[in-house]
Amino acid sequence: MKILVIGNPQRYEKFSPGEEIIGRYDVVYCPVGSEDEELLRAGGDADVILADAISGVSAYVIDRMPNLKMIHSEGVAYNKIDVRAASEKKIYVCNNKGGNAAAVAEQAVLLMLGLLRTVVPGHEAVLAGRQIERKEHLMVKGITDLADCAVGLLGMGDIAKATAARLHAFGCQCFYYTKHRKEASLEQELHLTYKPLDELLPMCDIVSLHMAVNDETVGFMNAARFSQMKRGAYIVNTGRGELIDNDALCKALEVGTLAGAGLDTVFPEPVQKENPVVKFAEDNPGKILFSPHIGGVTTGSFKRMHRHMWENVRRIEFGEKPDCVVNDIV
Q: Which residues have a catalytic role annotated?
A: 240, 269, 293
For 283, phi and psi rounded to 5 degrees? -80, -15
Q: Which residues neighbour 172 within 8 Å (Cβ) at sequence distance 6 or greater?
A: 146, 147, 149, 150, 151
Give me Rg for the CA atoms of the chain.
22
- Reply yes or no: is the peptide bond before residue 17 cis, omega within 30 of 0: no
For residue 72, list its beta bridge partners.
50, 94
The b-or-e profile of 240-260 (16+ CB within 10 A means b, else e) is bbbbbbbebbbbbbeeebbbb
Report how far Cα 245 is from the mean position of its chain's Cα atoms.
16
In terms of Cα–Cα distance, which of 287, 288, 249, 242 is closest to 265?
242
Select from 236, 226, 237 the least CA-distant residue to 206: 236
User: Using alpha carbons only, what angle is made at residue 19 by residues 14 and 25, rounded to the nearest 5 degrees?
Assistant: 110
Q: Which amino acid is at 73?
A: S
Question: How far is 152 from 209, CA to CA, in rounded Å?
Answer: 9
Give yes or no for a contact between 189 and 234, defined as CB atoms under 8 angstroms apart. Answer: no
- Taking the C-alpha atoms of residue 115 and residue 117, their distance in angstroms, rounded to an integer, is 5
- 3-class DSSP state of 83: helix
In angstroms, rounded to a whole number, what is the distance separating the alpha carbons of residues 309 and 230?
A: 42
What SS3 state is found at 289?
Answer: strand
